[in-house]
Amino acid sequence: MLSILRHSAIRTHIPAALFAATRCRCIVPTRASSSVTDAKDSSKVTPPYRVLFFGSDDFATKHLAALYKDKNEPGSVIQSIEVVTPPDQRIGRKLKELTPMPTKAFAELHNLPVHHTPLEGHSLTDWQLPTPRLSSAFDLGVVVSFGYFLPPHILHAFHKGIVNVHPSLLPKYRGAAPIQYTVLNNDTETGITVQELDENVFDAGRILAQEVVKIPEDQPVTYKSLVEDLGNKGASLLMKTIRNFDECMANAKTQDPTQVTKAPKITKKMAEVNFETMSAEKIEQLHRAIGHQCPLTTTYTLWRIKRSLKIKHRHISMQLLNIFLPTSSPAHGVIPYPQPGTIFWDFDTESMHVVCADGNLIGITHVKAEAKKVVRSYDFFNGYAVRSGQGKFGMFDNEEGVEPGVSGVQVTKRREDYTKSIKKRLKREAAKEVRMTREQRRRQESWDKSEEKRSRENAMNEKNEWDRWDRRDEWGVWDRQDKWEEKEKDEDNDVAGWNGRDRCTTTRWNSRESGRDRRKEGATAEWDDMEGDRDGRRKAASTEWNSREGGRDRRKEGATAEWDDMEGDRDERRKAASTEWNSREGGRDRRKEGATAEWDGMEGDRDGWRKAASTEWN
């Protein structure tokens, strides 16, 4: 029945408001006396307890997870858990993304009832304690990293009282940022304190339980690593205190006012770095303590010398990310030693080193300019004129050491050697480029020559091929054209002219098709005969060509006479041509016999003959 009610409970979701407390806030007010619990007669309340948990961040979530785990075990001292958390926060660009608190996310994941503090304001004076889902009142309150001061009417509402887990050895580091100040002051030990809540002062209640935690010295401790360790130990100490609550209340100790130290809230002002006044160790400790919350910022001054020889300064706000202390640096051995804020590039660690006030250096791997994205130090070193010596970290507007033509570069022996090495490298690269250019030019010339030779050979082969076809042509193209022109003058020989042209076309087609006839069954024998006397035919064709070129007019007259004679015995020559065609074509005999008969029938109709000739041609 309890599980059903828990799952069906309706949670209240209130829109987000600005949350004043920092992420590391892990304390709430304490109360000095136990009169409230005495008035309620807390001895009559026995486990298991109805717990109301107040918390916000990841540190508080670890304690809520410990309570939830104990609640589900046999013989638990926890009967029920409900959660009070600040409203959801708006984060991101223009505060568009609404993000719940980590404790709320854990509670909703495990079906725990969730209540919100007021949307407006940072006081709980007018806020009333929520009514328990399964009873009339809560037995015990647990406050971890909540960020609000609980007024008396809330403190008096619990039968057993209300306790707080604070990540320090109270009365040391009272306030909102005890873990940050532990890292910042380079302490060798810290601890966890479970205390009562005081009605008037933060972290001034009686101490119920306390555990010392040693900080390892072999490696630098960071805020995140310390939160993880203290969160686990604080959850364990909280459960021990609740299991032995009456005994812890009876043996509670009052804090010594003379030993009180403060740990106030972290502000952005604390993250500002001044290389002229802060040592390298101090900057590195500050980064480990608050870098997760407020990235360290400084000013980068960039100067330019204009054509008018006036010096123009530009100041850029920079966030320094991933800071460390280098063991060696290119700045070591530079004479005179560089001023604070001077930047060097280290090739071994691929980071830039900055000189601090004590002469030591810090290493930086990433930076972020205002309104820009995070970039590597290498990109910053090249893109912000650091390599050319026209900028350094620090705020200054004076023109001392900056001269026209020099751009503020402090010339040292190391820089001269570096410049010489750069010039040598550029000279080697230029020589290499010249060699590559010569080799490419030689290859290109060789390629051009080979291409020209190949083009000449292709042209010659093409010319020879055309000459071969022209020599193999029986009458020649020009002679047939002349014959056609002569015959066209006779208007009565219209049909005969077409026949002559068709005959010449057929002859030329047959001569050009002869190269392909060897693949056909009927042309094999003729091809063998033609190959046997190829040289003789070529010689005869050459002689005939020369004779035709010597007397073109005579050949035309003879051709005219020959043409007239051919007209007389046209039928005999056609029959002989048909016979020769059939012998050469082999497989086409049947089609050519039909074509011959069709040819004889087309003499009376010129248009019909043309159509049939085109079909045969195709």
Distance, CA of 521 to CA of 582 (rounded, Å)? 12
Enumerate residues 6+ apart whose C-beta is below 8 A from 21. Answer: 56, 146, 147, 148, 176, 265
Percent above pLDDT 70 for the chain: 74
Q: Is residue 11's pLDDT more than 60? A: no
In a domain, 461, yes or no: no
In a domain, 433, yes or no: no
pLDDT digits (tens, 9 = 90+) for 497-516: 555 556 666 666 666 666 56
Mean per-residue pLDDT, 261-265: 93
Q: What is the CATH number of the domain that holds 109?
A: 3.40.50.170
Residue 492 and residue 546 in one domain: yes
Q: What is the CATH number of the domain that holds 367?
A: 3.10.25.10
pLDDT at 251: 94
pLDDT digits (tens, 9 = 90+) for 512-561: 666 566 666 665 666 667 666 777 777 777 777 777 777 777 777 777 77
Q: Which two tokens stand for residue 421?
A: 């090495």
Residue 289 and residue 227 in one domain: no
pLDDT at 26: 35
Q: Which residues pair with 299 in a beta bridge?
A: 317
pLDDT digits (tens, 9 = 90+) for 288-302: 999 999 999 999 887
In a domain, 162, yes or no: yes
Residue 34 and residue 134 in one domain: yes
pLDDT at 3: 37
Residue 294 and residue 193 in one domain: no
Give the model's confidence band at 16: pLDDT under 50 very low, under 70 low, under 90 confident, else very high: very low
Distance, CA of 533 to CA of 536 (rounded, Å)? 5
pLDDT at 107: 95
Residue 241 and residue 276 in one domain: no
Range of the domain at 84: 2-259
Residue 280 and residue 367 in one domain: yes
Give the model's confidence band at 207: pLDDT under 50 very low, under 70 low, under 90 confident, else very high: very high
Give the model's confidence band at 464: pLDDT under 50 very low, under 70 low, under 90 confident, else very high: confident
Q: What are phi and psi of 611, to 5 degrees?
A: -60, -45
Measured in whole angstroms, the distance separating CA 77 from the mean position of its chain's CA atoms is 51
- H and E: helices and strands count for the chain: 19, 18
In a domain, 441, yes or no: no
Residue that the structure tokens 């109270």 belong to: 170
Measured in whole angstroms, the distance separating CA 41 from the mean position of its chain's CA atoms is 64
In a domain, 281, yes or no: yes
Q: What are phi and psi of 317, to 5 degrees?
A: -80, 125
pLDDT at 43: 59
Residue 37 and residue 143 in one domain: yes
Mean per-residue pLDDT, 572-596: 73
Q: Is residue 391's pLDDT more than 70? A: yes
117 in Cβ contact with 148 (< 8 Å) = yes
Give the model's confidence band at 28: pLDDT under 50 very low, under 70 low, under 90 confident, else very high: very low
pLDDT digits (tens, 9 = 90+) for 312-342: 677 889 999 999 999 888 888 887 888 898 8
How many Cβ atoms are within 10 Å of 605's Cβ, its own excluded? 12
pLDDT at 406: 43
Q: Could you give the number of structural domains in the chain?
A: 3
Enumerate residues 6+ apart whose C-beta is below 8 A from 175. Answer: 27, 181, 202, 203, 262, 263, 264, 265
Give the model's confidence band at 581: pLDDT under 50 very low, under 70 low, under 90 confident, else very high: confident
Best-predicted range by mean pLDDT among 133-147, 356-370, 376-390, 472-486? 356-370
Residue 158 and residue 21 in one domain: yes
Residue 365 and residue 495 in one domain: no
Instruction: Report which of 49, 44, 21 is spatially closest to residue 144, judged by C-alpha positions.
Output: 21
Residue 342 and residue 235 in one domain: no
Residue 527 and residue 584 in one domain: yes
Residue 497 and residue 579 in one domain: yes
pLDDT at 523: 58
